Chain A
Amino acid sequence: DIQMTQSPSTLSASVGDRVTITCRASQSISAWVAWYQQKPGTAPKLLVYKASVVERGVPSRFSGSGFGTEFTLTISSLQPDDFATYYCQQYSNLYTFGQGTKLEIK
């Protein structure tokens, strides 16, 4: 099975900061990665798919990149609404989610 390892598990940042979350796959998965945002008590929300395609309606401060085994989600300028938990997901071979990155207010 393909494993997805996210880092960091917790990230403290301030409004206006640029933040990057990394996801590493245990084997090459081309660009078959998606990113989600989840707030407490709600379902995950799709942000990015195919590693770098931003879902319609998602603010332009969110971007994704990567290919092969290393992928990143970047938020260019943190807004108060962005403090949440973020997950990566591979869909190269079935599906696997990362363990999550909790983005906290510093």
Chain B
Amino acid sequence: QVTLKESGPVLVKPTETLTLTCAVSGFPLSDAKMAVGWIRQPPGKALEWLAHILSNDEKAYNRSLRSRLTVSEDTSKSQVVLTLTNMDPADTATYYCARTRGSGWFDYWGQGILVTVSS
């Protein structure tokens, strides 16, 4: 059974760095056909893809957020980590991690974590 679960702080202050962890189970991060992506959704708004990481450590980032994003993985712990620097209230959103097959569609999603940016 494939599962993904996000964890991290639910409240961060402006200018702080957000670090989120996605714990995966039911498939190996080392599987060449799989990747894990991060997507966010501000309250009441649309989905926005942020980043993904492939099993060969290839990474891709949303161009508009690239300078602030880092994605990494720890295959021994079956975890993928996303960091977003210099947080702003506009970054308030539900953050999801999701599995993608062959850099394509997202077939399994975590439940999401709502992160609020406020002083």
B106 / chain A contacts, CB cutoff of 8 Å? 34, 36, 44, 46, 89
Q: A1-B63, A43-B109 are in contact. Are A32 and B47 (CB under 8 A)?
A: no
B96 / chain A contacts, CB cutoff of 8 Å? 43-44
User: Looking at chain A's contact residues, is the secondary structure mostly helix, strand, loop, or mixed?
Assistant: loop
Q: A1-B63, A97-B48, A100-B46 are in contact. Are A49 and B104 (CB under 8 A)?
A: yes
**CB nearest neighbor in B for A95:** B49
State A95–B102 Cα separation when bound (angstroms): 12
**CB nearest neighbor in B for A45:** B109
State A103–B103 Cα separation when bound (angstroms): 28
Q: Which of A34, A55, A99, A100 contacts B104 (CB 8 A)?
A: A34
Contact B105 A96, beta carbon cutoff 8 Å: no
Q: How many chain A residues have a CB neighbour from B under 8 Å?
A: 22
Contact B103 A91, beta carbon cutoff 8 Å: yes
Contact A46 B107, beta carbon cutoff 8 Å: yes
Q: A44-B47, A97-B46 are in contact. Are A32 and B109 (CB under 8 A)?
A: no
State A44–B106 Cα separation when bound (angstroms): 9
**CB nearest neighbor in A for B109:** A43
Contact A89 B110, beta carbon cutoff 8 Å: no
Q: Which of A42, A87, A95 contacts B37 (CB 8 A)?
A: A95
Contact with A along B23-51 (1 / 0, CB 8 A): 00000000000000101000000111100
Contact with B along A31-52 (1 / 0, CB 8 A): 0101010000011111001100
CB within 8 Å of A: which residues of B?
37, 39, 46-49, 52, 60, 62-63, 96, 98, 100, 103-107, 109-112
CB within 8 Å of B: which residues of A?
1, 32, 34, 36, 42-46, 49-50, 55, 87, 89, 91, 94-100
21 A-B pairs, CB-CB below 8 angstroms? A1-B63, A34-B104, A34-B105, A34-B106, A36-B106, A42-B111, A43-B96, A43-B110, A43-B111, A44-B47, A44-B106, A45-B109, A49-B105, A87-B46, A89-B105, A91-B105, A94-B49, A95-B37, A95-B49, A97-B46, A99-B46
